[in-house]
Structure 1
């Protein structure tokens, strides 16, 4: 890969991340970390802090702090682990599902507006390339 390509990709990724953060602060009531945790709990079911930390490749204290913030808003609740009474799982509540779905719909609406002039093929190719990038980063986190 030549330096010109790397420069373009690095600049565009930087701009993308910055715009996402700005947009989330402006348009969503959920912080990015909360959105990700709720989405994970909804798709994979109840999970403990250690499981969540491993899945998201974060440390346990970070997940604990994020989960506590969601618990304070009643988006998740702690459920005792039947196999080990000393530990617990987080599970998403109905209120958390509602908040997640509302945020997700706002994100869909925003993407639809941003990409309204893109062809279906361009949208699909962009999605495929993002997926390829994310899968590679996930498989090679230390690269």
Structure 2
């Protein structure tokens, strides 16, 4: 490893191997792909297959399989476009919201345990660097991810 970017590539590969949800003995049943789709829908609201494809960078056939499985598990439901468009959209169900919240809570508990020996300043710095890294990746790929905002407000997309 000659350059810092060599190390970043390696560490990012290792980071990608881990999931804070759906581990053996986990209390959640969500797989990583369902978690990602639910998180996007929870922040942005109902989306069509085409919108999900653009947002996630996945092909429509992959998303059709994922959303079909999610519908069978009562995590999402298809609804008419609230804005009157032709395409039907996916919305998170009450069961999907409950499972997503359990998975998020579990992930945060794991992070709290992993970072227990870190200072508050180091945890805050890591959060800031990860946000910067992700927003730069999103800008590079042209797919900003809306970030949740505190209770009183709306989500905003990261990007230029």
Q: State TM-score, norm by structure 1.
A: 0.87
Matches within 5 A, 1:20-39: 20=19, 24-26=22-24, 27=26, 28-39=28-39
Gaps of 5+ in 1: none
Unaligned segments of structure 2, at least 5 residues: 143-160
Count of residue correspondences: 139
- Indicate how the Cα distance of structure 1 residues 140 and 84 shifts in structure 2: closer, same or farther if over 3 A, else same: closer
| Structure 1 consecutive aligned stretches of length 4 or more whose deviation exceeds 2 Å | 23-28, 80-85
Aligned to 1:132: 132
Cross-structure match for 1:108: 108
CA distance in 2, matches of 1:74, 1:54: 24
Which residue in the other structure is 1:80 paired with?
80
- Structure holding more helix per residue: 1
Cα RMSD (Å): 2.0
Q: Which has the higher mean CA deviation after the structures are superposed, 127-136 or 25-34? A: 25-34
Per-residue CA shift, 1:58-83, capped at 9, x if unaligned? 22222211111110101111112363
